[in-house]
Structure 1
Amino acid sequence: MALAGEYAEGVRTPAEARDAATVLLLRPGAGSGPEVYLLRRQLTMGFAAGMAVFPGGGVDARDAELPDSRWAGPPAVEWAARLGVDESRARALVAAAVRETFEESGVLLAGPSDGVVVDDVSGADWEADRVALESRELSLTELLTRRGLVLRTDLLAPWAAWTTPVFEPKRYATWFFVARLPEGQVTRDVSSESSSVLWLGAAEAVRQVEAGELAMMPPTYLNCLEVASLGGEDDVLADAAGRTLTMFTPQVTAADGGHTLSMMPRHASLVEGRRS
């Protein structure tokens, strides 16, 4: 934490945070709450190595270029108000959330028209497109245009926004979204950045982290904890439907004779409830 103090005092300059989007993909669980889709990142990755994460990644400059003709659901100006950013940035973040979900899970939140979702994207031709998208040979706009699809932005809902603490060498300003696994689609172990993937009940994910059986970055753990506290998929999506986001950056605070990172108030109350 001494290093964090040097940033706070202006001795060191924080790395610039790159915009990113990630999606809590949900499906019904065997118990009372939903399952979330998680990827274990390769141990060789430069950020969050070995951690269980949600599908997501950095914004591609071309994400902001998605035209209105390939956009269905709430307009970008409405997303801008809910994400707390300007319209161009909102368009890029929503597009990045859908693109990264397809790249890392094989699930595509798009359809031939408003109100319709493509029901199977697991064939060899789709896999070729996914690989081309992942390698940046193909943009999301090009994929949707060639396939005659529109981005179903109404299948996403804003959930949270976190920026990596100032003392980290790699930093991301990450917007978290929630989405239900579309009927007819299946997740696939396709991401080159992960060593394994799994569906896990949100409450079970929390238990495994607390037992030291699963490694997660604090935002991933806290978002799982919050999902587990709300009930089923419908409860999570209903809660998200009314959210507008404010970016949160954890700060170093004194605690029990040492130091810890601050949390959003709603997360802090959930953590405190588990300790009591």
Structure 2
Amino acid sequence: MTRWQRMIRRFDPVGRRLVTAVVYAFLAFLTIPIVYTFVASFASSADGVLPSGFATLENWRVVMGYADYGVQTTVGRSLLFSAGIATGGTVVNLLVGVPIAYALTRYEFFARDWLNALAILPLVPGIVLGIAFLRAYPENASTSFGLVVGYALLKSPYMVLTVQSSFQSMDLRRIEESARSLGASWPRTFLTVILPNAKNGIVAGSIITWTLAAAEFNFTYMVYSQGPRPFSLFLFENINNAPFLQSAAAISIYFLIVVSAIVVLQFLGNRGFTTTTTNP
């Protein structure tokens, strides 16, 4: 063992502790604002450095639409509507993005690099895609269908890149040949062998696309004109026009929705999933 190697080995425990400390410091840096906002949503006063007057649900009542203890359903419709179009966009990404990621990983074909570039081309600010949608589809851009398609297109690079990395970690050719040698058709091989083995990437892509679509503001602000108010506009109105404590409650609602969606998707991923086909 050389002197340099002995020196590295001597400082190795210090290096591990340093890396661990940096990771915990970074996590604290990211977590403290979220915890502070959530706690502040239950306060009655924000005059000092720290909120005070715990604990009250008045901020949540105002944000959720409980005026004079009379329930207003507009916020509930907004949440359900946004969850629905975000889910629709995620489903479109699963149906389109996963096969694209598979083809880009598995096959060599003409213009493959161009298709790979086109797959991540929508990775642009939402305002740019919103303007393009309004110019290309002026009658359909502001409909629920237009929002679903827009969300799917805007977030598709995250699905394609995430699932593609999962496919790249697999020996797709060997897996396919093994399944086909046992008598499985190509559709059955893809649905019952390839996809379950790529579940981590698919779940991660679903989490990313759903959470980003649920709070997509720029695209929604550009194309929205009628119907239920999307959740991103609900957040904007409450953050822009409301006092800090009510804004904290509105942001906390988004945190809860995102955490719930992540827990559900991770639960489904941890349980595993299988797909079936009727083809022999």
So what's the TM-score if we normalise by structure 1?
A: 0.27
Larger strand percent: 1
Larger helix percent: 2
Q: Which has the larger radius of gyration?
A: 2
So what's the TM-score if we normalise by structure 2?
A: 0.27
